[in-house]
């Protein structure tokens, strides 16, 4: 069985919902993961933000605007009056729920409950449209099987057992529709897999079920060799190794959720990136194969802070690095890049929630300096150290740009460089010109 995920733009209007329905309705049994309609999750974030700022009136205005849009979508989507009315009833219930939530005080939990509504709406709308077409379709609620553990990691045994049971219970349907992004936590509360998390939902389902293929359908013809939002003339990469794709996703290629490739890789399920706007385009296949001797793509991750600890006294002492890393661990802050010298070490983080506590503790071990508003540029491909010349090409491309850190040799697949966020566009463009011209 294949798992197909359609992102926000792919279901972003009634016409798009009709196009997606036509695309998935080909007689082959499949599981279809849907995002919220594009813009909806951002509006829901805005609603939560107004509640946080104790401005329920503004929150209600956003809800009213959203409701107006959705009611119009219903008019355009259905010809069957009873399915249209059924959908209206469901949407009215969701908007009433949102209005009621504006009377509550803000908590992170309240925000998660609000954010979950977008996927609940889109999946119900598309399922009812497929019912109108006479398709044998079943909506399976993600909240019945998708769960994260106390560390926010997917609870794979639970997901596997529950989705398998649900599918067995509802055997015989042609299409199974489910929500991306949303899940429950260990307390049973509504939670989510972070922004962009619908990709993760699809990959988790594909991995636990040992699917034939996971397809991520979006608004572009696969993974491009550089970020098309910043670099003109990027082109699609037709094949990526799981590790290359995982690095690109983690280091900023927005087409994939940062951690969605890992489960597919462990399960050995290929992932195909396809374009809803041009379904016959070949897209990108992500699998176990490794194309030798080529650099594939470049990505960039913003909002990076570099932290340098200089300590001539301590660095060579046994256990210094352990102490430094422990400080990040106890403050639950993941480290992205590390470079060391005999007298100092620099690390980068993207989550600065505990930065003050981290720097306070690091000061026990040396002089601490931070550089904010930095950006990791990640070059991905066959970068085994025996491949002469690739690192030279990369540094030559950046010869006009101040580079704060370089990390090479950590894996066979990547070179990472830290530059100022202000230099990101120039760095990406120079790399494209040097590596892919």
CB of 41 to Mg ion, least distance (A): 10
CB of 101 to ligand ADP, least distance (A): 25
Residue 229 binds which entry of ligand ADP, ligand ASP, Mg ion, none, with Cβ cut-offs from 5 to 8 Å by kind? ligand ADP
CB of 196 to ligand ADP, least distance (A): 5
Stretch binding Mg ion (CB under 5 A), from 15-23, 59-67, 192-200, 394-402:
192-200
CB of 136 to ligand ASP, least distance (A): 27
Q: Which two tokens stand for residue 331?
A: 């403050």
CB of 379 to ligand ADP, least distance (A): 12
Residue 180 binds which entry of Mg ion, ligand ASP, ligand ADP, none, with Cβ cut-offs from 5 to 8 Å by kind? ligand ASP
Nearest to ligand ADP by Cβ — which residue?
Answer: 7
Which residues, 6+ apart, have CB-to-CB distance to 311 below 8 Å? Answer: 320, 343, 344, 365, 366, 367
Q: How far apart are CA 87 and CA 135, in angstroms?
A: 17
Stretch binding ligand ASP (CB under 6 A), from 13-21, 132-140, 193-201, 225-233:
193-201
Which residues, 6+ apart, have CB-to-CB distance to 397 below 8 Å? Answer: 427, 430, 431, 433, 434, 435
For the beta carbon of residue 147, count every other beta carbon within 10 angstroms.
20
Residue 227 binds which entry of ligand ADP, Mg ion, ligand ASP, none, with Cβ cut-offs from 5 to 8 Å by kind? ligand ADP
Angle 81-101/117-132 helices, nearest 10 degrees? 170
Which residues, 6+ apart, have CB-to-CB distance to 21 below 8 Å? Answer: 126, 129, 130, 133, 135
Secondary structure of 47-84 in HEC code, one letter for each residue: HHHHHHCCCHHHHHHHHHHHHHHHHHHHHHHCCCHHHH
Q: Which two tokens stand for residue 205?
A: 């389902």
Residue 400, classed as helix, strand or coil, is: coil
Among 4, 7, 16, 218, binds ligand ASP (CB under 6 A): 7
Q: Does 35 bind ligand ASP (CB under 6 A)?
A: yes
Q: Where are the beta strands (DSSP E) in 226-292?
A: 239-241, 271-275, 284-287
Complex with ligand ADP: residue 160 or 254, whichever CB lies closer? 254
Element (H, E) at 216: strand 213-218
Q: Which two tokens stand for residue 297?
A: 């793509």
Complex with Mg ion: residue 217 or 242, whichever CB lies closer? 217
Complex with ligand ASP: residue 41 or 407, whichever CB lies closer? 41
Q: Apex CA 166: angle with CA 160 and CA 171, to 5°?
A: 120
CB of 198 to ligand ASP, least distance (A): 3
| Greatest distance between any 2 Cα atoms in the chain | 78
Residues 279 to 308 in contact with Mg ion, rule: CB under 5 A: none
Residues 279 to 298 in contact with ligand ADP, rule: CB under 6 A: 297
Q: How far apart are CA 226 and CA 183, in angstroms?
A: 32
Q: Does 10 bind ligand ASP (CB under 6 A)?
A: no
Residues 182 to 221 in contact with ligand ADP, rule: CB under 6 A: 196, 218-220
Element (H, E) at 296: strand 295-310
Q: How far apart are CA 391 and CA 86, in angstroms?
A: 59
Quick note: the x/- pattern for ligand ADP over 247-266, rule CB under 6 A, is ------xxx-----------
**Which among 110, 154, 246, 260 has a CA at the least distance from the CA of 197?**
260
C-beta separation of 256 from 246 below 8 A: no
Q: Does 41 bind ligand ASP (CB under 6 A)?
A: yes
Complex with ligand ASP: residue 19 or 219, whichever CB lies closer? 219
- Residue 48: HSE in the Cβ half-sphere, 13 Å Cα cutoff: 17
Residues 197 to 226 in contact with ligand ASP, rule: CB under 6 A: 197-198
Residue 366 binds which entry of ligand ADP, Mg ion, ligand ASP, none, with Cβ cut-offs from 5 to 8 Å by kind? none
Quick note: the x/- pattern for ligand ADP over 299-338, rule CB under 6 A, is x---------------------------------------
Contacting residues toward ligand ADP, per CB under 6 A: 7-10, 35, 196, 218-220, 223-224, 227-229, 253-255, 297, 299
Contacting residues toward Mg ion, per CB under 5 A: 7, 196
Contacting residues toward ligand ASP, per CB under 6 A: 7-8, 35-36, 41, 118, 180-181, 195-198
């Amino acid at each position: 069985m294949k798992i197909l995920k359609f992102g926000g733009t792919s279901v972003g209007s009634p016409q798009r919902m009709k196009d997606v329905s036509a695309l998935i309705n080909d007689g082959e049994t499949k599981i279809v993961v849907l995002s919220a309609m594009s813009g909806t999750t951002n509006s829901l974030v805005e609603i939560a933000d107004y509640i946080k700022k104790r401005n329920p009136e503004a929150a209600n205005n956003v809800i009213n605007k959203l409701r107006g849009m959705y009611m119009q979508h219903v008019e355009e989507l259905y010809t069957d009056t009873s399915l249209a009315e059924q959908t209206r009833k469901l949407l009215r219930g969701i908007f009433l729920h949102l209005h009621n939530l504006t009377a509550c005080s803000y908590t992170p939990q309240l925000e998660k409950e609000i954010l979950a509504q977008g996927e609940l709406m889109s999946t119900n709308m598309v399922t009812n449209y497929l019912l109108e077409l006479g398709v044998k379709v079943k909506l399976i609620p993600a909240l019945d099987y998708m769960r994260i553990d106390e560390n926010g990691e997917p609870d794979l045994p639970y997901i596997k057992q529950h989705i398998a049971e649900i599918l067995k219970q509802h055997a015989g349907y042609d299409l199974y529709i489910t929500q991306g992004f949303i899940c429950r936590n260990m307390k049973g509360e509504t939670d989510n897999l972070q922004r962009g998390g619908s990709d993760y939902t699809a990959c988790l389902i594909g991995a636990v079920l040992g699917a034939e293929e996971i397809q991520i359908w979006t608004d572009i013809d696969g993974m491009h060799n550089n970020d098309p939002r910043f670099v003109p003339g990027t082109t699609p990469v037709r094949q990526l190794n799981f590790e290359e794709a995982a690095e690109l996703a983690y280091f900023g290629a927005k087409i994939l959720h940062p951690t969605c490739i890992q489960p597919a890789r462990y399960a050995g399920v290929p992932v195909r990136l396809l374009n809803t706007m041009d379904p016959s385009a070949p897209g990108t296949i992500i699998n176990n194969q490794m194309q030798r001797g080529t650099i594939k793509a470049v990505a960039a991750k913003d909002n990076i802070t570099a932290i340098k600890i200089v300590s001539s006294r301590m660095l060579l002492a046994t256990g210094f690095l352990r102490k430094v890393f422990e400080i990040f661990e106890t403050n639950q802050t993941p480290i992205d890049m590390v470079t060391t010298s005999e007298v100092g070490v620099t690390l980068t983080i993207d989550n600065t929630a505990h930065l003050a506590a981290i720097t306070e503790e690091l000061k026990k071990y040396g002089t601490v300096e931070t550089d904010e508003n930095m950006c990791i540029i990640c070059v991905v491909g066959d970068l085994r150290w025996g491949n002469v010349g690739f690192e030279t090409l990369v540094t030559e491309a950046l010869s006009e740009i101040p580079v704060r850190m370089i990390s090479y040799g950590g894996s066979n697949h990547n070179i990472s460089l830290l530059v100022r966020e202000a230099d990101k566009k120039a760095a990406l463009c120079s790399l494209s010109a040097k590596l892919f011209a």
